[in-house]
């Protein structure tokens, strides 16, 4: 007559309570940033363990698939959130987390924010030209004003990013 044990948010078994809490903490975190859960799991576990882990370790400890682990690690590398640990006398690659805020913020801005901002500016350029071709003068003026406003938003956004990097990553 066993009581069913309460189901944790993630189904892995080999983690301590605290490790699991940290992993969940990062799962929430990446979700807020619009990144897939697996990134939070992987980074979280690397963050709270003192030594680097291999892809296989991650699969085993987190109970995720090899595919997820591989793709997650790739994305984390692109974001500058993990790097390959050097000098392990071993064939497989081990990963360690970047634990300074600077590269994390920088990578997120570079990979997730800047591209959207830039493509947005480009689109606005095109929209702007389209608006200037509006026949009716009153309508044209209204449209132009609104679009100018959008441009100014984008410009401010572009200016804020470096400040953010400077403030967050010191």
**Where does this chain bind DNA (CB under 7 A)?**
31, 34-38, 54-56, 63-68, 70-74, 91-93
Sheet holding 82-85, edge to edge: 53-54, 94-97, 82-85
Q: Which of 35, 19, 34 is nearest to 68 (CA)?
A: 35
Least distance from its own copies to the Cβ atom of residue 123, Å: 6
Which H/E stretch holds residue 129? helix 114-132
Judged by the rule CB under 8 A, the positions of this chain that interact with its own copies are 17-18, 21-22, 25, 28-29, 32, 34, 47-48, 50, 99, 101, 113, 116, 119-120, 123-124, 126-127, 130-131, 134, 139, 142-143, 146-147, 149-150, 153, 156-157, 159-160, 163-164, 167-168
Q: Which of 57, 2, 46, 5 is nearest to 22 (CA)?
A: 46
Q: Please choose which of its own copies, DNA, none residue 93 contacts, taking the beta carbon within 5 to 8 angstroms, the exact cut-off set by kind.
A: DNA
Least distance from DNA to the Cβ atom of residue 72, Å: 6
Distance CA 85, CA 22 (A): 22
Q: Phi and psi at residue 97, in whole multiples of 5°?
A: -85, 150
Pick 50 or 89: Cβ nearer DNA: 89
């Amino acid at each position: 007559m066993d009581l069913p044990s309460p189901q944790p948010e993630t189904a892995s078994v080999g983690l301590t309570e605290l490790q699991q809490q940290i992993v969940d903490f990062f799962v929430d975190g990446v979700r807020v940033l619009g990144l897939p859960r697996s990134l939070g799991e992987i980074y979280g576990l690397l963050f709270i363990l003192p030594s680097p882990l291999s892809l296989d370790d991650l699969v085993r400890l987190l109970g995720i698939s090899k595919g997820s682990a591989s793709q997650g690690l790739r994305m984390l590398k692109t974001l500058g959130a993990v790097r390959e640990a050097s000098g392990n006398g071993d064939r497989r690659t081990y990963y360690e987390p970047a634990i300074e805020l600077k590269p994390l913020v920088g990578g997120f801005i570079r990979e997730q924010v800047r591209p959207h901002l830039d493509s947005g500016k480009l689109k606005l350029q095109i929209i702007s030209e389209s608006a200037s071709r509006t026949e009716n003068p009153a309508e044209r003026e209204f449209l132009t004003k609104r679009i100018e406003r959008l441009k100014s938003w984008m410009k401010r956004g572009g200016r804020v990013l470096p400040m953010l990097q400077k403030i967050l990553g010191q």
